Amino acid sequence: MANTDITQRSQYERTDLLAGGEGIRRGSEKAATVYTVIALIVGVALSVVALATIENWAQWVVLGVIVVFTAAVMFAIGPNREGSGSSFKVGR
């Protein structure tokens, strides 16, 4: 940076080259919708098969533990929890 003139420095500090992520293309919204619909259909089908094959109370207990654990993990790493950084304010 010491041996640059004002034009070179301006070119180096261009806002479109900064790592803000605003210029990054996220992809197709239609593809995300198609993926979501397919994932929901597969998830529902697998859930129906799992519920149909449960035979005794021990399997229901295992399924219940899996559901409770999944909900607990979702709550623990969710973006709205205390200390997640989602309410971080820059500049105070």
pLDDT tens column, 60-75: 999 999 999 999 998 8
The helix/strand count (H/E) of the chain reads as 3, 0
- Of 77, 66, 34, nearest to 85 (Cα)? 77
Give the Cα separation of 40 and 54 in Å (integer).
Answer: 21
Dihedral sign, CA of 10, 12, 13, 14? positive
pTM equals 0.52
What residue spans define the domains of the chain?
A: 6-76
Give the Cα separation of 36 and 30 in Å (integer).
Answer: 10
Give the Cα separation of 38 and 8 in Å (integer).
Answer: 50
Stretch (H or E) spanning 81: none
Residue whose entry in the numeric block shows the structure tokens 């640059």: 4
Percent of the residues in the chain that have a pLDDT greater than 90, as a whole number: 43
